[in-house]
Structure 1
Amino acid sequence: MSTSHDVITPAELGRELGHNDGDRPGITVRRYLRQRYPDHPKNQRWELTPEEADDVPESVKAGETDSVRRSV
């Protein structure tokens, strides 16, 4: 089982990627995750492994979020 240092939240990842989504820094990352992993239980916390975090594509990185918004 993962410990807290083995996971990253969408908010943490969003901040690392340079997103400034106001009070919700992980919203862009979560949009991508919901599309990529549709079987994730609704209203459950996202805790990403390093591999899952690395899977977040370049298009989700800061300044390139229009394609994610259009596809949701």
Structure 2
Amino acid sequence: MFGLGMPELMVILVVLLLLFGGSRLPGIAAGLGGAVHSFKKALKGGDDDRSLSSGHGADRVPSSTSDTTKSA
């Protein structure tokens, strides 16, 4: 996991406990987990939007150019 062993992870945990305290740490972890979840959801939804726009966007371009040439 990012080249971090168990001793390094323990040091990071101790520093986090000293900075934020034991009572605030679960809330911070829950907020971080929710952010990761929403980020993954947005990435999954972004793929669907790309496939929809590529399929329908090509149909609209020729019709708009033909409307422009008729008015000229």
What TM-score does the superposition give when structure 1 sets the normalisation length? 0.29
For CA contacts below 8 A with separation 6 or more, give which structure has more relative contact order: 1
**Which has more radius of gyration?**
2
